[in-house]
Structure 1
Amino acid sequence: MRDVIDVTPVSLSYLVLGGFVVSFSMVSLAIKERLYIGEVVLGTGFGVIIGPYCANIFDPRSWGKESNEITLEVMRVVLATGLFAIGVELPGAYIREHVKSLLIMVVPTMAFGWFICAGFIQLLFPKLNFVSALVVSACLTPTDPVLASAIIGGKFAVKNVPGHIRRILAAESACNDGLAYPFLSISIYLTIEASTKVAFGKWFLIGWLYQVILGSVIGALLGWMFSFMMKFSHRKGLIDRESFVAQYLSLAIFTIGVASTLGSDDLLAAFAAGTAISWDGHFNTHTEDEVFSSVIDLVLNCACFIYIGAWLPFNQYDNDLLGIAVWKLVLLFVAFLALRRIPAMLLLYKWIPDVTNWKEALFCGHFGPMGVGAIFISTLAITRLSDEGGDPSDQEQLLSSMLHPIVSFVVLCSILIRTQLITYSQYCRS
């Protein structure tokens, strides 16, 4: 029997994921309507239960040096699929018509939260200098598109949140997740480069021109090209409805493959591709009322948050050597909750056409869940720090060691508290 039974981490992963999705799908309506709990919270909790600190069935951190690379790619695929779907589901030419609202909601709001929250990070963790605090803050600045879609995409959100607010929040979460690259890159360049002039030069040339702008152009071109090809195939009778729906996953993965191979912003490229492919509404017409994309989202989200739950480094949340304590992390989450978005939105909403009053501004400011994107960006930062040539300085080593404990704790609180608060308020109003 030992020659027949092969219990490996991969086979256990299939067993765990399949069992959870089957179980959740059987009782999902009762859980959502009676307990007001979504698959994100349940998936994370289930991951914690099967993780190394409970049942010890699944432990992503036991994979050694490959752990960060695997975590990075899992988060990348889930993010790219979610961003592509957001781009597709927005109305045709939405970005062009709402560019002013998006620019104000993304750039100054992110910059304000990034800078202010970095100050609190350095105050609570004085071993980090301000530049290192900016790196940590950059990981937690963007709104997570996966959590955002899970919150504002359900029927209760459709009933209780105005359509223009849901659309602008979805578009904003997609844009600012891709635009986290420049905030992260300038912080890392200032950390690893001896010259400030060299750091800002690389930031402009690589962070903005090559990653953000080129990534957006690549994604838009790929989306436009595939839109043209699918319309041609449809006219010739070469493609059916099911093949249109399959593009949600295949085109998202192809886009991030092209962009990441070239070293550009793959997340922004995926969003741009989704926006471009649905620009004239042809793709939407052939995919509306199809549930396959929703099924893909459910399975990927469940898998991702089970992975996150098992991945969380609970043993690092009280580390005297790094100066990390649970009470500091709790204070940091409260600071992020109050200052990351709300003050900027209340100050700027009069210049945002899609936000009509201070109540909507307050909701948009409060709505800023942190999740998959934060883990992706923090893991990317660690790989960038580790991949630099030469021996890293003490500050780099310290930053690399503190990134995941700080970011993961804030993400955990965001999943359990912020996500549930928004979800519960929507259910109660229905």
Structure 2
Amino acid sequence: PIRLLLITMPLTVVAVMLFGWQYLGFAPATALLLGAAIAPTDSVLAPNVQSASPHKDKAGSSRLILTGESGFNDGLAFPFINMAIAMALIGTHPSLWINDWLMIDILYRISVGAFIGLVSGWFLSKFIFSSPKPKSHSSALLALTLTLFPYGLAELAFSYGFIAVFVAACVFRYEETKNEFIVPLNDFSEDIEKPLLAILFTLLGVYISHGFIHDFELYMIPTALIILLVVRPVTGLIALSGTNINLSRKFFISFYGIRGIGSIFYLLYAFSHASFEQSNEALALVTTVIICSIFIHGLSAKYLVERCEPGCT
């Protein structure tokens, strides 16, 4: 997933920003925010595309690549979100904010978040797995600890909590070859994911039935299709060019840039920190992208996974 994170994601941000600014008439800061919010992926909305339980997916499988991408790009979206906030607060000219953005939002927050995740994941794995009776631990308590402990430390250090949580989870997952408790922990995480997702979609439905119907415009549908069916596949293929992945899997990985509820969170986070022009239109457009992604990616996932990753369903 490294290529998708370092190439596809920035290219998506730039492409959506330029399209929103030049063709849709969004203000530069709002257009950048739109690109930053839409760029992260979320494989939760298509379970067939998610990596399976521990020990099932091989390293390098398409599903593992997509799950790794969606796990890490949540944190990597924040530098672009913060850039949009800086543009809205200070001005669009880079000289006004570029130095602080590079030193703080890129260098400091990413490195510190990753370091905190590394240390906290190692500490928790050693502390939990040192017990002679791992089954005595509570899956719920452990899952919450693994999430909240690194996230809280990272936020206290003014770094990126999402990056810290993902790195901590990767370090913790590394211990799966040494301890069988990782399997029930993974099962609990999948079980709790479903009701939380239901709650989030209920809230999304409330918004759709109220604010969305007033801000929605017809141009948002073709725009969403361009983002999902043109921008993501093209930038994905660019990132995967030159790799030893076969062509069908390249198309599969490039196509499944699933957009989820996290995109709305990024918008609301930015709206709470600065005033953006055309904020309602941006929120409606992102919602349209999510709805289209649910139908396009969700309905096609099982069929395409069976074709590109036989034996993984």
The TM-score range, normalised by the shorter chain, is 0.7 to 0.9
Letter in 2 for 1:298: K
8 Å CA contact 1:226–1:277 kept in 2: the answer is yes
Give 2:171's aligned residue.
Answer: 276
Give 1:376's aligned residue.
Answer: 265
Give 1:227's aligned residue.
Answer: 125
Give 1:347's aligned residue.
Answer: 238
Give 1:198's aligned residue.
Answer: 96
8 Å CA contact 2:43–2:50 kept in 1: the answer is no
8 Å CA contact 2:14–2:35 kept in 1: the answer is yes
Give 1:338's aligned residue.
Answer: 229
8 Å CA contact 2:49–2:63 kept in 1: the answer is no
Most deviating of 136-145 and 276-285:
276-285
Give 2:17's aligned residue.
Answer: 118
C-alpha distance in 2, partners of 1:149/1:272? 22
C-alpha distance in 1, partners of 2:261/2:280? 19
Give 1:104's aligned residue.
Answer: 3
C-alpha distance in 1, partners of 2:271/2:45? 23
Matched, 1:301 2:197: yes
Give 1:411's aligned residue.
Answer: 290
C-alpha distance in 2, partners of 1:283/1:370? 35
Matched, 1:359 2:248: yes
So what's the TM-score if we normalise by structure 1?
A: 0.64
Aligned with 1:214 (options 112, 116, 120): 112
Question: What is the deviation of 1:187?
Answer: 2.5
Give 2:281's aligned residue.
Answer: 402
8 Å CA contact 1:120–1:332 kept in 2: the answer is no
C-alpha distance in 1, partners of 2:240/2:140? 37
Aligned with 1:139 (options 37, 41, 57): 37
Question: What is the deviation of 1:305?
Answer: 2.1
Identity rate, percent: 24
Equivalenced residues, count: 305
C-alpha distance in 1, partners of 2:137/2:272? 38
C-alpha distance in 2, partners of 1:425/1:114? 26
Give 1:265's aligned residue.
Answer: 160
Q: Give CA-to-partner distance per residue, 1:107-130, whole Å, 9 cap, x none.
A: 11111111112222234431x223
Letter in 1 for 2:231: R
Aligned with 1:328 (options 216, 219, 231): 219
Q: CA RMSD in A?
A: 2.9
8 Å CA contact 1:215–1:265 kept in 2: the answer is yes
Q: Which secondary structure state, in structure 1, belongs to the residue aligned with residue 138 of structure 2?
A: helix
C-alpha distance in 1, partners of 2:17/2:209? 22
C-alpha distance in 1, partners of 2:149/2:50? 27
Give 2:63's aligned residue.
Answer: 166
C-alpha distance in 1, partners of 2:46/2:29? 29
Question: What is the deviation of 1:358?
Answer: 1.8
Residues 213 and 295 from structure 1, CA distance in 2 versus in 1: closer, same or farther, beyond 3 angstroms? same
C-alpha distance in 2, partners of 1:165/1:148? 14
C-alpha distance in 1, partners of 2:223/2:200? 25
Residues 335 and 298 from structure 1, CA distance in 2 versus in 1: closer, same or farther, beyond 3 angstroms? same
Question: What is the deviation of 1:143?
Answer: 0.6
8 Å CA contact 1:117–1:336 kept in 2: the answer is yes
Q: Give CA-to-partner distance per residue, 1:73-121, whole Å, 9 cap, x none.
A: xxxxxxxxxxxxxxxxxxxxxxxxxxxxx32111111111111122222
Q: Which secondary structure state, in structure 1, belongs to the residue aligned with residue 174 of structure 2?
A: coil
8 Å CA contact 1:147–1:369 kept in 2: the answer is yes
Letter in 1 for 2:76: L
Q: Give CA-to-partner distance per residue, 1:133-180, whole Å, 9 cap, x none.
A: 11111100111143255643569xx89x99711111111111112111
Name stretches of at least 5 consecutive residues in structure 2 with no aligned partner. none
Letter in 1 for 2:299: Q
Name stretches of at least 5 consecutive residues in structure 1 with no aligned partner. 1-101, 387-395
So what's the TM-score if we normalise by structure 2?
A: 0.85
Residues 305 and 283 from structure 1, CA distance in 2 versus in 1: closer, same or farther, beyond 3 angstroms? farther
8 Å CA contact 2:155–2:161 kept in 1: the answer is yes
Question: What is the deviation of 1:296?
Answer: 1.5
